[in-house]
Amino acid sequence: MDIFGSVVDNQTRCVHYHTGKDIIAIKFKCCNRYYPCYKCHEEHADHCIERWTQDQFDELAILCGNCHKELTIHEYMNTTSCYHCRAIFNERCANHYPIYFEPSTDKENRER
């Protein structure tokens, strides 16, 4: 799987985010390419970011940097570790969620 951007290791860490938990890459809907983060996309792509919509959360769009298996957005949102290898990763990219994913409705937030 090709990872685009300023990648610094084989677990998809980049120059912007490189803690022990920063081991996922996100497939960007706009270009169907994996990047470690939105900053890498902004620096290396020639277009604006397009968010994944709620009805697309069953798409394989998250890549575990440890085992290199893909997860759906729903799978990623419902765990703090990889379903395949159990590696722990950054919980739901919480600080940048609205950049990558369409925000959930108020009703969905109450049900979580």
What is the pTM (predicted TM-score) of this model? 0.88
pLDDT digits 0-9 by tens, 71-103: 999 999 998 899 999 999 887 677 888 999 998
Q: Are strands 33-35 and 60-64 parallel, antiparallel or unpaired?
A: unpaired
Measured at the CA of 7, the angle between CA 51 and CA 23, to 5 degrees, comes to: 70
b/e per residue 29-66 (b: at least 16 CB within 10 A): beeebbbbbbbbbeeebeeebebbeeeebeeebbbbbb
Phi and psi of 28, rounded to 5°? -85, 130
Query: Kind and range of the H or E element at 62?
Result: strand 60-64
| Least reliable range by pLDDT among 2-11, 18-27, 87-96 | 87-96
Q: Per-residue pLDDT for 111 more than 60?
A: no
Residue 94: the pLDDT is 76
Domain ranges of the chain: 24-111
Q: Which two tokens stand for residue 48?
A: 């604006």
Q: Which two tokens stand for residue 100?
A: 């990558």
